[in-house]
Amino acid sequence: MGSSASMEKLSVDEQYIQRMLRDLLKIPSPTGYTDRIVHFVAHELERLGVAVALSRRGAIRVELKGRRDSPKCAIVSHLDTLGAMVTQLKPNGRLAVAPIGKWNSRFAEGARVIVFTDHSGSKRGTIIPLKASGHIFDEEVDVQPSTWQNLEVRVDDPLETAEDLAALGFQIGDFVSWDPSPEFFDNGFVVSRHLDDKAGVAAVLGAVKAVVESGVEIPVDCHVLFTVSEEVGTGASTALHGEVAEMVAVDNATPGPKQASREQGVTIAMMDSSGPFDYHLTHRLLALCQEFGIEHQRDVFRTYRCDAASAVEAGNDLRVALVCFGVDASHGYERTQMNALISLSELLTLYIQTEPTRQRDREPLGPLSDFPTQPE
């Protein structure tokens, strides 16, 4: 990891992180419809004094300059969220939809949404089940399966036929965004849809702000990336550039039964469904938490993948790790704690100040004789 004598645990601005999260949650950004949030974050980064570049697909690339330009490190979080797309203009004047990203339809029911049309602007509506009224369907409303095929968008306009929908400008392929309905509590809790990964983005912006404003010298160039297609599995596959040797992904952890994740502190993932994360990079992050007193825990995610997986699967030769803020009921009505975002942001400021792990610098695991052998 290198000497920590010259490293500083930078003070991050909690009010700034909270303000950024509030602003990010206001901007609809389902995968495929992310231009507005990309522009917002790019302008904020420029305001902080860092140069911004965009990939062809719209991902944001920022470079924090270090004493050396190689081997570079990277931090990645994603701007896109879950959502849906219109698949049919229905004869009853309503819209059928298919999900963008992997999420259960039970979390979609009853929500207020925005439908973005090509020519008629945004339209408000509600996601309702096909059998929505007990006064009509009686007990059938209780036994109707919870599936995307059993949902429809009721638009708040006088629409009774598919022709009415077409006349108002609705088309197959229109994007649908769920209202986040955020609430910020004095006890530090934040409840909202789309905390995955807008809370992570806010924490990353807080770390960038702290590093830039402190003027602390960093050892190597650090690329900060904001991807736009993580929810559909391709986020960091095309966003990396230059000699990036290692990457830390920032995303949500999963508190719940049989999980060690919490809504407090940082959760450091040891493995997800794509396999174990890099031993040396992960343990460097754990060491930073221990040395600088950052509350943390480890966890293993069984049905989960992040930007790290897409980067490696695309053929990038780099070490990857995953650091998280705990999110209860992920991909639903999510909840986290500001404490987790502050701890995560502090860890990122420390990571930016560390030397990347080089092959020749790997700490020895001990002589071969120290390892148990198979019985003869």
How is residue 45 written in tokens? 């980064």
Q: pLDDT digits over 19-48, tens only?
A: 999 999 999 999 999 999 999 999 999 999
pLDDT at 316: 86
User: Domains (ranges, CATH) in the chain?
Assistant: 14-81+194-358 (3.40.630.10), 83-178 (2.40.30.40)
User: For 12, which DSSP code?
Assistant: P
Distance CA(367)–CA(348), nearest Å, equals 33
CB 325 within 8 A of CB 344: yes
CB distance 239 to 310 below 8 Å: no
pLDDT at residue 191, as a whole number: 98
State the pLDDT at residue 19. 98
Rg (CA), the chain: 23
Longest CA–CA separation in the chain, Å: 80
State the Cα–Cα distance between residues 110 and 333, nearest whole angstrom: 12
pLDDT (tens digit per residue) in 54-90: 999 999 999 999 999 889 999 999 999 999 999 999 9
- Report whether 326 contacts 255 (CB < 8 A): yes
pLDDT at position 8: 85
pLDDT in tens, 225-266: 999 999 998 888 877 777 899 999 999 999 999 999 999 999
Looking at this protein, which amino acid is placed at residue 237? S
Q: Residue 299: which of 347, 349, 343, 265 has the closest Cα? A: 265
Q: How far apart are CA 2 and CA 128, in angstroms?
A: 56
pTM comes to 0.94
What pLDDT was estimated at residue 370? 59
Q: What would the DSSP string read from start to end of 191-216?
A: EETTHHHHHHHHHHHHHHHHHHHHT-
Strands (E) across 6-56 are located at 52-54
pLDDT in tens, 332-376: 999 999 999 999 999 999 999 999 887 545 555 566 555 566 665
Check residue 16 and give its pLDDT.
Answer: 98
Q: Indicate the SS3 state at residue 322.
A: strand
β partners of residue 116: 122, 175
